[in-house]
Chain A
Amino acid sequence: MLAVLLFAQLLALALQVKRQTAEGPVRLIRIVSVNTIAPFERLLIYTGGGIRSVWTGYLDLRDVRRENERLKAEAAQMRLDREREMEDARQARRIQALLQFKENWIDKTVAAQVIGTSGTESSRLIYLDKGSGAGIKPDMPVITPDGVVGKVLNVYGDTSQVLLINDPSSGVGAMVVNARLQGIVKGSATGEVQLNYIMGDESVQSGEAVITSGGDRVFPKGLPIGRVTRVSMGRNLFLDIKVKPAADLDRLEEVLVVTEQKAREPQVDGQAPIRASDILAEHLPGVPQQPPAQGAAQAPNVSVPQTQTTSPAQPQPSAAHTQSSVASTQPPPAKPKSDLPAKPQSAAPASSSAATKAPSANAPAAKAAANPSAKAQAATAPHVPVVKPEVIKTNNAKPAGAAEETDKQ
């Protein structure tokens, strides 16, 4: 009897192996298994979630003021950092547009809760509480704000199976950020993540960031995968590179499934961050308004963002590409001498004639010169982003009226 059963299972196994390589449809028995276990997991997670939310609701009331102050300070610092990074991103997008690069941009995501795992160490899988009903399909990328999680393997009615990047059978096209070396990130039986196929004569340092390369046609380029933790010489002339995943793959609770990507060229709108000193100068009495044509000829890239949001799931340069319309009330700018995109520069208030003769950093200085009281303020004003109503904008990189585009995040 043992031999018969063993033979039957071996036969079934062999048949499956053949079909697996042909990437056939999901088997009925697998669907039954998942649908049997998923309700248990769903019940446990929702019950636990309810109890936890009551308890944490009570705990959250305590120390909330101190936490609030700390978060405010942190948010201010992050705004400063974000502005600097956004300027770099805009510059990168201008260069990409110049070279007519196209990238896959995340257009739509579906948030899902992790309700279970494979339950074994040999398969690094998780189950989500959303399936084909939510628009999820196989091979869709799964991410968190921290980084890449994996890709959708199988989809059922209201459950999805996700293969994590630390599973031995996974593979993600990856790139070392500083060295610009491309390889494949794979998992291992022990759950470690490693970057393969980097030649031994290349130089990769510990601590370097690893991002998606976009070469696998599953993940859009630029998503953080992790950081290099150890580099050694491996077999077959390749480096043995261990990577610590950016997303905590052992403690996933909520994830985002990228359900829609679109390939398009990066948007170049010439927007630059506005400084607090610029706002101060704009609202202070001072230099009378000059005809705009003079300034436009010398400083064509003057704009102020109306609103800007960043996607937590997408790093720069692709993170901050949501923007609303900016009305153009100024005459068209004079054509620059070269066809190249304008050099990145800060925004300046259009009312300042000084700003039209030099980059905007000089704008507050000009105002301050006319108004001594503003001088001190302008000199000490921090560099912060501003959400501002419609303002004057000139842009030599895009035709008028083409600035309107709101990307779904």
Chain B
Amino acid sequence: MRSANLSYTSREQVDVYRFSWAVSIGLPLLLVGLQAFMPVRMPLFRVFDFGLMLTIFFAVSRRSQLSGMLTGAAIGLLQDGLTRTPYGVFGIAKMLVGYGASSIGIKIDVENPGSRFLMTFLFYAMHQAVFLAIERYLMGQQISFNLGHEAGAAVANSLMAVFLFAVLNRFKIRD
């Protein structure tokens, strides 16, 4: 039974989805690769974090905290490999996002665009806060923080997520 019109549901009322192996592996590779390639042609594309969007999408669709954590950690570690940061910075941040998103996916409706926008906005903020904390306090890096820029990036990512989630819905397989 679908529960799209409900704000609060029990675990039994929500749908749980799964994804094929090809989608589970191919989509992160494709989108993280796109995220790395596109700034060469369009520098503004650097703002988007497709890894984060995928983590949220998989987590709220599968509605499993363990799965959300593992997905977030895997995508984060993949992103870590492309940066100069040590392995684990993005891994930790996205793993926490995966945990949080899957926990929220159990409790509230995450199918309508408004809640997806808000959810992505909040998780983007959380992701950046965790990243900043790791870089500044664990790594000892002098990382500056521009609130206006981060807020703009959060809005941009949230808008993109609404669009992306609608496309990714086609890959869902009802459990």
Contacts and interface: CB of A to CB of B under 8 A. Distances in A.
12 contacts: A17-B86, A33-B82, A36-B29, A37-B36, A40-B30, A116-B40, A118-B82, A120-B90, A122-B83, A163-B84, A188-B144, A190-B146
A118 B84 contact: yes
Given A12-B87, A168-B143, A188-B144, A40 B82 contact: no
Given A16-B86, A118-B36, A168-B141, A2 B81 contact: no
A115 B37 contact: yes
A250 B43 contact: yes
A10 B35 CA distance: 26
A20 interface: yes
B122 interface: no
B4 interface: no
A33 B83 CA distance: 10
Contact of B37 (A33, A116, A125, A250): A116
Contacts of B84: 118, 123, 125, 153, 163, 167, 169
B139 A17 contact: yes
Contacts of A119: 32, 35-36, 39, 46, 79, 82-83
A9 B91 contact: yes
B66 interface: yes
B33 A40 contact: yes
B164 to A, nearest CB: 15
Interface stretch (A24-32, A89-97, A279-287): A24-32
A118 B36 CA distance: 5
Given A5-B73, A41-B33, A118 B92 contact: no
A190 B41 CA distance: 19
Given A115-B37, A122-B135, 5 more contacts: A9-B92, A17-B138, A36-B29, A41-B36, A189-B144
A120 B83 contact: yes
A377 to B, nearest CB: 52
A42 B141 CA distance: 32
B78 interface: yes
Interface residues of A, number: 50
A298 to B, nearest CB: 60
A44 interface: yes
B55 to A, nearest CB: 14
Interface in B113-168: 131, 134-135, 138-139, 141-146, 149, 153
A116 B69 contact: no
A17 B86 CA distance: 7
Contact of A37 (B33, B87, B144, B149): B33
A343 interface: no
Given A1-B66, A17-B139, A168-B142, A29 B37 contact: no
A127 interface: yes
A113 to B, nearest CB: 9
A179 interface: no
A36 B131 CA distance: 24
A190 B149 contact: yes
Contacts of B37: 40-41, 44-45, 115-117
A121 interface: yes
Interface string A156-177: 0000000100011100000000
Interface string A27-55: 10110111011001100110010000000
A41 B33 CA distance: 6
Contact of A252 (B30, B40, B99, B142): B40
A119 B53 CA distance: 14
A28 to B, nearest CB: 11
Interface string B81-104: 111111111111001100100000
Contacts of B139: 17
A253 interface: yes
Contacts of A12: 87-88
Interface in A1-26: 1-2, 5-6, 9-10, 12-14, 16-17, 20
A116 B45 CA distance: 12
Contacts of A66: none
A37 B29 contact: yes
B88 A13 contact: yes
B133 to A, nearest CB: 12
A33 B29 contact: no
A244 to B, nearest CB: 15
A123 B47 contact: no
B128 to A, nearest CB: 9
Interface in A100-114: 114
Contacts of B35: 119
B61 interface: no
B33 to A, nearest CB: 4
B36 to A, nearest CB: 4
A122 B144 contact: no
